[in-house]
Amino acid sequence: MSADRRSVLALFACQALLTVNNLTIISVGSLAGFALAPDKSWSTLPATTYIAAGALSTYPISQYMRRHGRRAGFTLGILAGMLGAAISTVGVWFELFWVFCLGTFVAGAYTASGGYYRFAAADAAAPNARGRAISLVLAGGLAGGILGPESTKFTRDLLSATFLASYAALMLFAMLALLIVRTLELPQATSEERTGSVRGLGTLVRQPVFAVACLGAVSAYAVMNLLMGATPLAMQICGLPYASAAMVIQWHVVGMYAPALVMGNVVQRFGPLRVMLAGVCINLGCVAAAISGQTTMHFWLSGLLLGVGWCALFVGATALLTHSYAPAEKARAQGTNDVAVFVVMGASSAVSGGILYRLGWNWLNYTALPLLAATAIAVLWLAWSRSGRSAMAAAPAK
C-alpha cells in the first residue's frame, strides 16, 4: 500500500474517533447538561463551550501546524481532548455543571485540530484526487457515527451517575487516536508554503470564491449544529425514549458520512457549486420533515436529511475553498475558514437550547431558513459570475 493511501486510511480512523467525541459532547452533552444545569435553558452550554474553544484554538493550531507539521498539531489537539474528557468526567461524577462545561471547553482544541484531517488528506493526495481524499476521510465519521451512539447506550448507566462512564470512555478513544496519529506519514511543508508571498487577510477573504466557500461551510455546520444538538432534548420533551434518540443520531451520522464515500467523485463530475446547491435543497427538505410532525419517524427523516445535506454542502465548500488560495496562504485561509465555522457553530449552539425551551421545536427549525436562503443566493451568484468561472477553471492550490 502506498504511503498516501496509508495516510488517508489512518486519517479515516482518526476522523471516526473524533466523531465519537463530537457526538458525545454535542448530542449527549445536551442531556447531561439538562440534568446538571441550574437553569434548563443552559442545557446546550457544554456544547457551546466546546465549540467556542474550537473557534479560539483553530487558527493558532493552523499556524502551529505550519511551523511544526500536521502530526504535531494533531497530537496537541488529542492531548487536549484527553484532558477535557477527564475534567468532564469529574463534573458529571460530582454533579458540578460548571466543571463539566470547563471540561468541554478544554476538549475544544481536539475538534479544532481534527478539523484539519481533511486538509491533511488533500496534502497527501495527488492534485486530481484531492476531492476524493477529502470525502474518504470525512467518511470515517460513518464508523464513528455507529460507534458513538452504541458506546453511549452501553456506558450510559454503567457507573453510578448517568453518562459518567460515557465521558470516561472518551479518554480511551482519544488515547487510541493518539497512537494512530503517531504513525502518520505526511508530506512536509514545501519551501513555497513556508516562504511564499501571502496576501493580506482582508484581500483573501474578500475574494468571491473564498467568501462563498466559507459561507457554505458555515451554513453546513451552523444548521446541523442548531438542529441536531437539540434533537435528543426535543425527543425527550416529546416523551420519546433515549433508545429512539440514539437511533436518530445514528441515522443522522449515516446521512452525514455514508454519502462521503462517493461525494468526492460527485464533486469532481458536477463541480462544487452544484453540489453545494444540492446540499441547501436537502437541508430545506430536512426542515420540512421536522415541522410536519414530532414522532420518531419525523425526527428520523429530518435527522437523515440533515446529515446528507451537511455532507453535500460541506464537501462542496471544502473543495471550492482549495481554489481560493496560493500554497503559502494555505494555513491562513484554512484557519480563517474554520474560525468562521466554529464561531457560527458556537452561536447556533448557544441559542438552540433557549429557542427550543421557550419557543418549541418548529421555531428552532424556522431559524435555519434565512442562512440556507443566503447560501443558495450566494452560490447561484458565484456560478453566474466571471470570478466563479475563472476560479473553477484554475487548478486547486497544492
Instruction: Map residue 180 onto helix, strand or coil.
Output: helix
**Mean pLDDT on 48-52:** 85
Cα 331 to Cα 228: distance, rounded to the nearest angstrom:
30
The pLDDT, as a whole number, for residue 148 is 84
What does the pLDDT look like over 254-297, one tens digit per residue?
A: 898 889 888 878 888 888 999 999 999 999 999 999 999 888 89
C-alpha cell at 284: 430545506
pLDDT in tens, 56-100: 999 899 889 888 889 999 999 999 999 999 999 999 999 999 999
Which residue's C-alpha cell is 440514539? 246
What are the chain's domains? 3-183+201-393 (1.20.1250.20)
Q: What is the pLDDT of residue 277?
A: 95
Residues 329, 352: Cα–Cα separation, whole Å: 35
| CB-CB neighbours of 178 under 10 Å | 18
Nearest to 265 by CA among 305, 307, 319, 221: 319
pTM tops 0.85: no
The predicted-structure confidence for 198-256, as pLDDT tens digits, reads as follows 787 788 888 999 999 999 999 998 999 888 878 888 888 888 887 888 788 878 888 98
For the chain, the 3-state helix, strand and coil shares in percent, each to the nearest 5, are 85, 0, 15
- Per-residue exposure over 88-105, b if at least 16 CB sit within 10 Å of its own CB, e if not: bbbbbbeeebebbbbbbb
